[in-house]
């Protein structure tokens, strides 16, 4: 089984989520309570315990947050339109899919971006925040909001439940990277005694933006929340709460994921994942990469579609699947776990793949898989469906073949014949005699051949 990853915030470089549950329902440092409804796009991410991160509503069924807020095994909601977390106001919408940035680095917190696809659009009267493709100038006044810690001391937590806001100012990355100072300690007769030295040297990348003001900052509990430029015509988001040394420390700005650096990645995932993407993303004017385009010809085989799962389920985002997406697992980037189906039968089924007027007479599906837990009676099957079920078939690999558990198999493939096909759908099926039957799937390639 793949266990849920958990990030623990420290007094030095602190990830600004609430993985330490004593920080639940705390708020912004040095700010004020926001006017109720002013930032109706602000989202609280909540699991069975409570609030653990923030986010922003950028489409009616898409939330922008931080990769380090990833839960991996799901089971949480996006709460929209709730100013006071102690109430039941607003809506709770289930998070269906987490799409973390493929370049996210747990160690450096670089590319701290995550797209959350909700299982339905928000129905309430709430605003969307517009995502900015532009680099924001130094000294620009920006506003950060959230339900995070309000006390400047690392060892003290002041609890509150209302959405808070504060204004800070953009700092250049060069100035930000030069930041250094002493954390902790106590001033005695004008001298600082104790504490330890910290700095931002070589830690600030082009995917980050820094902002600060005296005594004001985001903090633990605000992670994933928006950093915006307030405008009467609609607020524009320029950053995502990410990390920082201490909170509101005079020597250290807060660090945010810079949305302009990954605007095209955000735009692509909204255009592909939202049922109604906002006009500001201009989805109709861009050529979103299609999984069904012919990509290569090699050895007589033409690639029809492929999926590497780097940014989500992609070709396999069809509803009803028993899958979880992982940005990385078992030394692979972009994999899907097939598990938790009813009575030990779990499936991952593709969207329909249009073939147009192709003259392929033979098809081949190649893929990699990793046996997490397969017993002698368990099978991994590849199903195919031609022209909405006019032709169906399957190929099953039994664990009697002696698949080793905890091993990647990169040589899996299956060929089948079909002439004059107009559409194709494939699916993976794991089944056995118990509920613990699961695999990881990676790098699926579908090809056609003229014989």
Active site residues: 68, 112, 223
d(CA 293, CA 446): 11
Sign of the torsion formed by the C-alpha atoms of 31, 34, 39 and 40: positive
DSSP string, 145-164: EESB---SSTT---B--B-E
Nearest residue to 438 via CA among 379, 396, 350, 366: 379
What is the CB neighbour count within 10 angstroms for residue 408?
Answer: 17
* Placement of tokens 């509150």 in the chain: 160
Cα separation, 226 vs 55, whole angstroms = 6
- Give the separation between CA 296 and CA 26, rounded to whole angstroms: 53
The residue among 247, 195, 276, 236 whose CA lies nearest residue 29 is 247
Closest CA to 376 of 343, 398, 345: 398
CA distances in angstroms from 160 to 83, 163, 166, 169, 361, listed in the order given: 11, 9, 15, 25, 65
State the Rg of the chain over Cα: 24
* H or E element in which residue 173 lies: helix 173-177
Burial readout 207-234 (b: 16 or more C-beta within 10 A, e: otherwise): bbbbbbbeebbbbbbbbbbbbbbeeeee
**Which tokens is 289 given?**
């990469």
Q: Spell out the residues 6+ positions from residue 74 whose beta carbon is closer than 8 angstroms to its own.
A: 95, 98, 324
Q: Are 161 and 23 in contact (CB under 8 A)?
A: no
CA distances from 138 to 127, 170, 174 (A): 27, 5, 11
Quote the distance between the C-alpha of residue 94 and its chain's center: 14
């Amino acid at each position: 089984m793949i266990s849920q990853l958990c990030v623990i915030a420290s007094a030095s470089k602190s990830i600004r989520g609430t993985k330490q549950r004593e920080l639940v329902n705390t708020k912004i440092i040095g700010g004020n309570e926001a006017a109720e409804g002013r930032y109706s796009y602000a989202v609280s991410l909540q699991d069975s315990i409570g609030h653990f991160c923030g986010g922003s509503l950028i489409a009616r069924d898409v939330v922008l947050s931080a990769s380090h807020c990833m839960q991996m095994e799901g089971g949480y909601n996006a709460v929209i339109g709730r100013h006071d977390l102690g109430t039941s106001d607003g809506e709770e919408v289930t998070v269906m899919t987490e799409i973390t940035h493929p370049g996210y680095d747990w160690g450096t917190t670089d590319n701290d971006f995550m797209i959350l696809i909700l299982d339905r659009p928000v129905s309430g009267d709430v605003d969307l925040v517009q995502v900015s493709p532009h680099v924001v100038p130094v000294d620009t006044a920006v506003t950060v909001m959230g339900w995070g810690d309000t006390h400047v001391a690392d060892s003290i937590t002041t609890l509150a439940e209302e959405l808070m806001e504060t204004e800070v100012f953009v700092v250049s990355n060069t100035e930000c990277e030069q930041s250094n100072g002493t954390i902790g300690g106590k001033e005695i007769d004008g001298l600082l005694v104790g504490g330890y030295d910290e700095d931002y040297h070589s830690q600030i990348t082009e995917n980050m933006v820094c902002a600060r003001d005296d005594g004001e900052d985001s903090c633990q509990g605000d992670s994933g929340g928006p950093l915006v430029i307030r405008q009467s015509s609609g607020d524009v988001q320029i950053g995502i709460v990410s990390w920082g040394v201490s909170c509101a420390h005079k020597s250290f700005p807060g660090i945010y994921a810079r949305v302009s650096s990954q605007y095209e990645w955000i735009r692509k995932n909204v255009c592909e994942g939202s049922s109604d993407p906002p006009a500001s993303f201009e989805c109709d004017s861009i050529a979103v990469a299609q999984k069904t385009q012919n990509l290569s010809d090699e050895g007589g085989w033409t690639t029809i579609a492929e999926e590497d799962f780097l940014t989500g389920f992609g070709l396999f985002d069809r509803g009803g699947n028993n899958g979880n997406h992982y940005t990385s697992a078992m030394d692979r980037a972009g994999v899907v776990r097939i598990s938790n189906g009813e009575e030990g039968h779990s499936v991952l089924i593709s969207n329909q793949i249009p073939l147009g007027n192709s003259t392929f007479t033979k098809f081949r599906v190649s893929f990699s898989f990793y046996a997490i837990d397969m017993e002698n009676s368990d099978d991994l099957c590849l199903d195919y469906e031609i022209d909405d079920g006019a032709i169906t078939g399957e190929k099953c690999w039994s664990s009697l073949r002696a698949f080793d558990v905890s091993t990647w198999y990169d040589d899996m493939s299956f060929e089948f014949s079909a002439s004059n096909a107009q559409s194709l759908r494939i699916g993976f099926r794991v089944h056995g005699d118990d509920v613990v039957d699961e695999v990881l799937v990676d790098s699926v390639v579908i090809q056609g051949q003229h014989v």
